[in-house]
Amino acid sequence: MMEPLMSVILVSFAAVSLIMVITWLVALQINNFSIVDVVWSFNFFVIAAIIWFMSEVRLPRLEIICALLTLWSVRLTLYLGIRVGSHLQEEEGRYKQLRMEWVKNLNSKFFWFYQMQAVSNLFLCIPFFIMAFNNDNQLNFLEYIGSLIWITGIVGEAIADYQLQQFKKNKWNKGKVCQTGLWNYSRHPNYFFQLTIWTGVFIFALSSNWGWLSIVCPLSIGWLLFKVTGIPLTEQQSLRSKGDAYRKYQSTTSIFFPMPKKN
């Protein structure tokens, strides 16, 4: 098992690392580093394809994990592609901020930033590598539960993204804070469901040998969302762009988990 597993991991890393090098070169040409978000999402589809084509055994488990990983990856890639592509001439706020912070050796710092994104792709695919080489013919009840939670996360994240997209389409909402649908209850429903996805993945993986190692995924995603690139940067950018309107929104909604707004 270890030899084919390592082969899949090495091929996956080589692929996503090369893709990130190409993306970095494109970003230099168009002067917009925010395209990395789109490619980061797409890389999961690439890894799903590699797992599928390099796997020697076709089992329902393999079909489920590759299908759900592909569904999530393609949906998020299309959503981010439309968002970033609609203003390619203007970089997104988080990357403008990084430009200011990384003014010295800007291009090289972004090169390694892109490569770290490739590493994160591989790291987050630990559960899929483990599950893909589980040759048990029968699905375990934990795999059914994990699939249900996983699908719930994909659907919930899609709904939150769609609601925000529709809000932004209305020119009269420029400078306002989205407070419709799921955004009426949580400041970050998309992040909530993203964590739900990885929790489902972890539960699914528990039935496979060494599946408990997959706990690193929801834990690392949670850490990134709460402490690093998710909520902190999003909140800072929202405060810069919306000011008091967003401060009021912060006072009436939960930072993460859905809860009724205060009157």
Do 6 and 117 lie in one domain? The reply is yes
| pLDDT tens digits for range 130-139 | 888 888 888 8
Q: Check whether 198 has a pLDDT greater than 80.
A: yes
User: Angle at CA 253, nearest 5°, toward 157 and 244?
Assistant: 110
Task: Work out the mean pLDDT of the chain and round it to a whole number.
Answer: 87
Do 143 and 262 lie in one domain? The reply is yes
Domain boundary among 135, 161, 177: 135
Q: What is the pLDDT at residue 1?
A: 53
Do 145 and 131 lie in one domain? The reply is no
Q: Check whether 63 has a pLDDT greater than 50.
A: yes
Bridge partners (DSSP) of residue 254 are 186
**pTM of the prediction?**
0.84
Residue 185: which domain range? 139-263
In this structure, are residues 42 and 73 in contact, taking their beta carbons and an 8 Å threshold? yes
Domain boundary among 113, 135, 157: 135
- The H-or-E segment that residue 242 falls in is helix 231-242
Q: Per mean pLDDT, which range of 14-18, 54-58, 87-91, 160-164 is the poorest?
A: 54-58
Mean pLDDT of 98-113: 89
Q: Check whether 259 has a pLDDT greater than 60.
A: no
Q: Name the domain count of the chain.
A: 2
Helix, strand, coil distribution of the chain in percent, nearest 5: 75, 0, 20
Selection from 93-97, 153-157, 169-173 with the highest mean pLDDT? 153-157
Q: How confident is the model at residue 149 (pLDDT cuts 50, 70, 90)?
A: very high
Q: How confident is the model at residue 15 (pLDDT cuts 50, 70, 90)?
A: very high
Domain boundary among 109, 135, 161: 135
